Structure 1
Amino acid sequence: MDDVLSEFGVSKDRLTPECNLALYRDGENTVLFDVGSGPDFMPSAGTIVDSLDALGLAPEDITHVVFTHAHPDHIWGLLDEFDDPLFYDATYMMGRQEWDYWWNPETVSTIGEARAAFAVGAKRRMEAIEDSVVLFDDGSEILPGIAAVSSPGHTPGHMGFEIRNGSNAALVVGDAIGNHHVAFQRPSWESGSDQDAALAVKTRQMLFDRLTSEDLTLIGFHLPDGGMGKVEPYRDGYRFIGI
């Protein structure tokens, strides 16, 4: 691993990746993929309102919030300072398997001590949208031009999304491809950040196969340069080319 990290100038002691939210607008819908962590998870995060403002948008302009999964840096930003949904006019959407996993009362006691707070925090936020959330399954066209792509391993029900407009297509991968160095150059290596590391390896390879064979644009949550780029075969793995 040392040779990969040194090639990318990544410290072995501390990793501070980008956290990129994807925003899609088709003239009718304004779709936000994940909501970030809010101010309660990391002191350097929780700037989503400012980021939207920079685009001339406010929370009420978001028509749909679509979750890849329910880890803190993807869902804890759901609530405002009054514990109400920040995007109060939006329709919330999550994969059925992911919802069921975090909603299950046994998850907090089986996920492991290090992640128990993840389960508590996810359930609290999901309760706020329980009566209005739309659940979907793999392959569903959840909105015009947006299809769900099952990508489990990082979490049991992790979802990616293919966004297609004519011949142009992109793949939102969330944390299924979690960094631009080891995950790309050693895609068969298991990662401790994944809840089912072996399954995550299979998912990662499936995504790389699609990204390269179909020449899809990649949108990754923890990738550099805003998270958008292309994937190219490189040595025994792949490399990320930002665009």
Structure 2
Amino acid sequence: MRITRRSVLRGATGLGATFAFGRAWAATEMDLGERRITTLNDGYLQLPESFLIGDLPQGEARAILDAAGVAAGGYEPPCNVTLLRSGAEVVLFDAGAGPGFMQSTGRLPEALAALDLSPEDVTHVVFTHGHPDHLWGAIDDFDEPLFVNARHLIGRVERDYWTDPETPVTIGAERQSFAAGAARRIELLQGMLETFENEDEVLPGIVARASFGHTPGHMSFEIGSGQALVVGDAIGNAHLAFARPEWPMAADQDPEQAARTRLVLLQELAERGMPLIGFHLPDGGMGRVEKNGEGYTFVSEM
């Protein structure tokens, strides 16, 4: 397995350093032999510090963040969409935020273009969960599916949660827009959206693994029997979630269940030495997990 970072100098718009002839896109890649994984930057979130720390012990949490170089006052995690290419298959894990969430997100079509790919080239879109930065990008500005030639796959538990009429009532005021947005986009996808269950092989060599807690039906995906694990938001950051995985995180819808899931995943990843790809982790989200005292450390392989 080989991980590299490369810059693609194409396109008139996008993220990265500006040059006279366009923008520079950095793509982090993992070579798995017959498969190649590339993480594409959909932009970044702009969040208040309270969304990260919540009710955690302020002093200890702030010390961990300071050591990780996270400035006080706000938090801007990257959004890493995972692209897998294998033969004729062009698979996206999650679809980014699209045009309707934050001005700092929705860059996925530009990132694809930097690799000479278009939304029409995508054959599969596999969702980890239904939050805006993962699902909303499946629909374009005109309320039409963006990836018109792709099969769209989501866990049944997750699909059922976002289409349940009780969800907007129970999800809490701060996330009611998430519920409305997810339900509308699932409806717009109509017959294009398929469901799967825990431990299903969603594509050859790609197995769904329940990682509930961040959302009620959040899924991770193991590629090639231990070659890599796409964890989505089950491990949501590279500092607090690693140093104190047992802490309940404000970003998770069920913080206690999410903490149990995170502990299991981190222990397994460390013991197996399996690479992980996290949606909001640094360096394109690719790295490994190492045990560090009572917690863990994210080790980028860049």
TM-score interval, smaller chain: over 0.9
2:149 maps to 1:94: no
Q: Note the C-alpha offset of 1:180.
A: 0.3
Give the superposition deviation at 1:12.
Answer: 3.2
Q: Distance in 2 between matches of 1:30 and 1:196?
A: 33
Give the residue type in structure 2 aligned to 1:87. Answer: F
**Matched position secondary structure for 2:161:** helix
The structural deviation recorded for 1:89 is: 0.5
In structure 1, C-alpha distance between the alignment counterparts of 2:293 and 2:268, rounded to whole Å? 18
1:233 equivalent to 2:284? Answer: no
Q: Counterparts of 2:232 and 2:262 in 1: how far apart (Å)?
A: 11
**1:182-204 CA distance string (max 9 Å, x none):** 00000011111111100001100
Q: 1:198 aligns with which of 256, 262, 266?
A: 256
1:162-201 superposed matches below 5 A: 162-164=222-224, 169-201=227-259
Unaligned runs of 5+ in 1: none
Q: C-alpha displacement at 1:219, in angstroms?
A: 0.2
**What is the RMSD of the two structures over their aligned residues, measured on CA atoms?**
1.0
Return the alpha-carbon distance in structure 1 between the equivalents of residues 88 and 98 of structure 2: 27
1:235 Cα shift?
2.5
Which residue of the partner structure matches residue 213 of structure 1? Answer: 271
1:55 corresponding residue in structure 2 = 115
Q: List aligned pairs for 1:137-152, cutoff 5 A.
A: 137-152=197-212
Output the amino acid matched with 2:249: S
Specify the alignment match of 2:58 in structure 1.
none
CA deviation after TM superposition for structure 1 residue 215, in Å: 1.2
Could you tell me how far apart the structure 1 residues matched to 2:222 and 2:268 are? 11
Q: Classify the secondary structure of the residue corresponding to 2:299.
A: strand
| Matching residue of 2:50 | none
- Aligned residue number for residue 28 of structure 2: none
- State the 4+ residue runs in structure 1 displaced beyond 6 angstroms: none
Q: 1:69, 1:12 → 2: CA distance?
A: 29
Letter in 1 for 2:64: V
Specify the code of the residue in structure 1 equivalent to 2:146: L
The structure where strand makes up a greater share of residues is 2
Q: Which residue of 2 aligns with 1:39?
A: 99
State yes or no: 1:76 paired with 2:136.
yes
Q: Percent identity?
A: 52
Alignment of 1:26 with 2:86, yes or no, is yes
Q: Does 2:186 match 1:156?
A: no
CA distance in 2, matches of 1:12, 1:99: 36
Q: Give the Cα–Cα distance (whole angstroms) in 1 for the partners of residues 190 and 228 of structure 2.
A: 29
Query: What secondary structure is seen at the aligned counterpart in 2 of 1:128?
Result: helix
Bigger radius of gyration among the two:
2
**Aligned counterparts of 1:197 and 1:48: Cα–Cα separation in 2:** 29
Residue type at the aligned position of 2:138: L
Give, as a single letter, the amino acid of the residue that structure 1 aligns with 2:255.
Answer: A
Corresponding residue of 1:10: 70
Q: Which runs of 5+ in 2 are unaligned?
A: 1-60
Letter in 1 for 2:295: G
Say whether 1:114 aligns with 2:174: yes
Q: TM-score, normalised by structure 2?
A: 0.78
Equivalent residues of 2:99, 2:141 under 8 A apart: no
